[in-house]
């Protein structure tokens, strides 16, 4: 026999798909649904949990049940160009464009913290446990749910550069300050991995915990001494991004095939 | 106290001298101005652009300044959904797509949304002759996405983002702008920006007395340069209200 909560979940799902509530809007409270469907609050709660697992809604303690971007989740291409930001001194890193200032979804934090992740510590070339200036932001394009978590670790030799610990108006302003203080030009590499989010990451990105994330670790190397000056970890909701890559021919694949190669396969 | 601004807008579209069909669409309303350029080489570019403009038209209404970006984001989302519904109803239209550049205003704040390579420009300064006209949108082309786009034939100038109704719809760039007296804003399709030199666009925008005059002269310039593509422009002039008008408003 079909479960009552699944019937109710299907009804609410149909209403979401019919755009009864805009993405980002709050659903009626559990008690209201309970009255409407003549079910008890617990059954409604199970229906909502089912819809949450399907990615339709997102239940936030203290805020209610929010409709996610339903069937249309805006996706961003992500390339490999770092641009000067048009609004001030600073950079736009992929996936942001040069004209954008991304929205902060929580107040940004900049403070010294122990760097305990051995992988990040190794990339920054510090001992695990070292006190390191950490910048923490949750950002994304305007009018969209949070796109990515950004955690930057700034090498101790550069952490005293004025302005690096403050939140300047433009994006990437702290990198401009690092470069101005003698690290020009910083060059970057990125390491991309897919993984599951932690419970806290899922909450910050407003995604279910069963949606994978793209984890990008960027290492910025100082142009002055050739050593790492910052390591930034991005955690991006995987349904919001697609990465774009041009493949290049190795030296071994540069020259045209010899004329006899087709004959060889025939023979 | 915030300045009380008078905002005047005009728009126009021309098929050009080469194309048979105008695949651009435009809406100029009291709060929302939007331009869409249906993708050439696809079926029914004109259906795509007009469907998108029809969908965003509903968002031409009063919103508070702090709700601007979300309202405009919803408008772009609605345009994408409308394209999807249209292609579901008429499968022959599958593959159609469009750019969209739109501006929604509330008081002295505007939000700009962009998907594709239609553009917004800003001319700032009370003396336009000494100001500069700068592009305030980024063209969503592969050459602006990856450094090595030129290594692939024809890739650099292809659109990296546009609206075509796919369920994982493309994210628009949304930026906020605070208007100042003397500002002039131009929205246009590449039928203008690809063929009329930037200096001439600037001079025309700076020297025209009214937005309507600017629109007519810009379209005439595109035609004078051969009119190879459809051309669509919208022009917005921002001025401070005269004392008489201000009194009227305060009363």
In which domain, by residue range, is A31 found? 4-67
pLDDT of A211 above 70: yes
The ipTM of this complex is: 0.90
Contact B135, B185 (CB under 8 A): no
pLDDT at A38: 94
pTM: 0.86
CA distance B121 to B111: 13
CA distance A62 to A75: 28
Same domain, A130 and A217: yes
Q: Is there a contact between B168 and A75 if contact means CB atoms under 8 Å apart?
A: yes
Residues of A in contact with B138 (CB under 8 A): 97-99
SS3 B97: coil
Longest Cα separation, chain A:
79
pLDDT of A160 above 60: yes
Whether A188 is covered by a domain: the verdict is yes
Average pLDDT, chain B: 92
pLDDT of A158 above 50: yes
Cis peptide before A160 (omega within 30 of 0): no
Half-sphere exposure of A97 (CA within 13 A, CB side): 29
* Domain termination site, one of A18, A39, A67: A67
Residues of A in contact with B72 (CB under 8 A): 143
Whether A13 is covered by a domain: the verdict is yes
Lookup: tokens for B147: 């450094």
B251 or A112: whose pLDDT is higher? Answer: A112
**CA B220 → CA B16, B19, B195, B237, distances in Å?**
10, 16, 12, 19
pLDDT at A57: 86
Same domain, A209 and A134: yes
Average pLDDT, chain A: 90
Longest Cα separation, chain B:
64
Whether A25 is covered by a domain: the verdict is yes
- State mean pLDDT over B75-93: 92
| pLDDT single digits (tens) A16-26 | 877 788 777 89
A99 touches chain B (CB under 8 A): yes
Question: Which pLDDT band holds residue A262 (cuts at 50, 70, 90)?
Answer: low
CA distance A248 to A244: 13
Same domain, A141 and A48: no
pLDDT at B54: 98
CA distance B104 to B189: 18
Same domain, A52 and A99: no
pLDDT of B194 above 70: yes
Question: Which pLDDT band holds residue B246 (cuts at 50, 70, 90)?
Answer: very low
Same domain, A38 and A145: no
**Best mutation target, A237, A246, A249, A253, to test chain B (most B CBs within 10 A):** A246
Same domain, A93 and A36: no
pLDDT of B248 above 50: no
| pLDDT single digits (tens) B62-75 | 999 999 999 999 89
SS3 B5: strand
pLDDT of B247 above 50: no
Cis peptide before A185 (omega within 30 of 0): yes
Contact A33, A20 (CB under 8 A): no
Whether A73 is covered by a domain: the verdict is no
Percentage of chain A lying above the pLDDT 90 cut: 68
CA distance B239 to A224: 49
Whether A263 is covered by a domain: the verdict is no
Same domain, A123 and A49: no
pLDDT at B125: 77
Residues of A in contact with B145 (CB under 8 A): 77, 79, 81, 94, 244
pLDDT at A56: 83
CA distance B140 to B76: 15
User: What is the CATH classification number for the domain harbouring A63?
Assistant: 1.10.10.10
Whether A203 is covered by a domain: the verdict is yes
- State mean pLDDT over A256-263: 74
pLDDT at A260: 66
Percentage of chain A lying above the pLDDT 70 cut: 93
pLDDT at B174: 96
Question: Which pLDDT band holds residue A152 (cuts at 50, 70, 90)?
Answer: very high
Whether A248 is covered by a domain: the verdict is no
Same domain, A120 and A236: yes
pLDDT of A263 above 80: no
Same domain, A101 and A62: no
Q: Which residues 78-97 of chain A have a CB within 8 Å of chain B? A: 79-81, 86, 94, 97
pLDDT at A267: 44
pLDDT of A69 above 80: no
Whether A104 is covered by a domain: the verdict is yes
Same domain, A51 and A91: no
Question: What are A233's strand-pairing partners?
Answer: A151, A217
| pLDDT single digits (tens) B104-155 | 999 999 999 999 999 999 999 766 566 899 999 999 999 999 999 999 999 9
Q: Is B153 exposed, middle or buried (0-12, 13-18, 19+ CB in 10 A)?
A: exposed
Tally the domains of chain A. 2
pLDDT of B15 above 60: yes
**Best mutation target, B76, B145, B153, to test chain A (most A CBs within 10 A):** B145
Same domain, A94 and A31: no
Q: Is there a contact between B145 and A244 if contact means CB atoms under 8 Å apart?
A: yes
Contact B231, B222 (CB under 8 A): yes
How many angstroms from the chain centroid is the CA of residue B214?
A: 15
pLDDT of A79 above 90: yes
Question: Residue B188 contacts by C-beta under 8 Å, 6 or more apart in sequence?
Answer: B35, B118, B119, B121, B218, B231, B232, B233, B234
Same domain, A122 and A203: yes
pLDDT at B250: 38
Question: Which pLDDT band holds residue A265 (cuts at 50, 70, 90)?
Answer: low
Residues of A in contact with B146 (CB under 8 A): 79-81, 244-246
**CA B143 → CA A5, A22, A102, A249, B171, distances in Å?**
50, 35, 22, 19, 18
Nearest beta carbon to residue B151 from set A74, A144, A248: A248
| pLDDT single digits (tens) A162-205 | 888 776 656 788 999 999 999 999 999 999 999 999 999 999 99
pLDDT of A264 above 60: no
B203 or B243: whose pLDDT is higher? Answer: B203
Nearest in space to A241 (alpha carbons), one of B215, B170, B158, B125: B170
């Amino acid at each position: 026999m079909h479960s009552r909560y699944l019937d109710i979940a299907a009804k609410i799902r149909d209403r979401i798909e019919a755009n009864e509530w805009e993405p980002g809007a709050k659903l009626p409270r559990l008690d209201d649904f309970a009255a409407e469907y003549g079910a008890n609050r617990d059954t409604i709660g199970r229906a909502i949990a089912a819809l949450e697992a399907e990615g339709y809604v997102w239940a936030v303690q203290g805020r209610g049940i929010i409709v996610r971007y339903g069937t249309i989740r805006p996706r961003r291409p992500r390339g490999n160009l770092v641009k000067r930001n048009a609004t001030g001194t600073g950079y736009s890193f992929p996936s942001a464009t040069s004209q954008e200032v991304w929205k902060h979804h929580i107040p940004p934090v900049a403070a010294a913290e122990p760097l305990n992740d051995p992988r990040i510590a190794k990339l920054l070339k510090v001992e695990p446990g070292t006190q390191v200036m950490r910048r923490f932001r949750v950002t994304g394009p305007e009018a969209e749910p949070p796109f990515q978590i950004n955690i930057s670790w700034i090498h101790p030799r550069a952490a005293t550069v004025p302005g690096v610990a403050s939140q300047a108006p433009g994006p990437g302003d702290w990198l401009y300050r690092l470069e101005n203080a003698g690290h020009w030009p910083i060059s970057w590499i990125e390491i991309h991995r897919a993984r599951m989010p932690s419970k806290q990451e899922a909450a910050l990105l407003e995604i279910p915990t069963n949606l994978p994330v793209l984890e990008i670790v960027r290492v910025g190397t100082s142009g002055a001494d050739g050593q790492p000056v910052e390591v930034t970890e991005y955690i991006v909701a995987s349904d919001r991004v697609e990465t774009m890559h041009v493949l290049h021919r190795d030296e071994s694949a540069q020259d045209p095939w010899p004329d006899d190669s087709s004959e060889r396969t025939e023979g | 106290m915030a300045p009380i601004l008078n905002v005047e807008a005009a728009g126009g579209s021309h098929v050009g001298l080469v194309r048979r069909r105008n695949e651009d669409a435009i809406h100029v309303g009291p709060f929302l101005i939007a331009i869409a350029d249906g993708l050439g080489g696809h079926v029914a570019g004109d259906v795509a652009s007009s469907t998108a403009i029809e969908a965003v038209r509903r968002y031409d209404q009063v919103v508070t300044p702090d709700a601007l970006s979300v309202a405009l984001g919803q408008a772009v989302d609605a345009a994408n959904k409308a394209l999807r519904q249209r292609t579901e109803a008429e499968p022959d239209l599958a593959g159609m797509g469009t750019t969209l550049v739109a501006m929604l205003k509330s008081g002295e704040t505007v939000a700009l949304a962009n998907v594709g390579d239609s553009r917004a420009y800003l001319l700032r300064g009370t003396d336009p002759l000494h100001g500069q006209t700068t592009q305030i949108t980024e063209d969503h082309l592969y050459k602006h996405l990856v450094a090595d786009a030129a290594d692939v034939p024809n890739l650099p100038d292809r659109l990296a983002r546009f609206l075509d109704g796919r369920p994982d719809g493309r994210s628009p760039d949304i930026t906020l702008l605070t208007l100042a007296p003397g500002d002039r804003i131009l929205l246009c399709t590449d039928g203008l920006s690809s063929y009329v030199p930037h200096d001439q666009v600037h001079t025309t925008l700076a020297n025209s007395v009214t937005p309507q005059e600017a629109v007519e002269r810009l379209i005439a310039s595109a035609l004078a340069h051969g009119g190879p593509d459809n051309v669509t422009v919208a022009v917005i002039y921002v001025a401070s209200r005269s004392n008489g008008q201000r009194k009227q408003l305060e009363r």
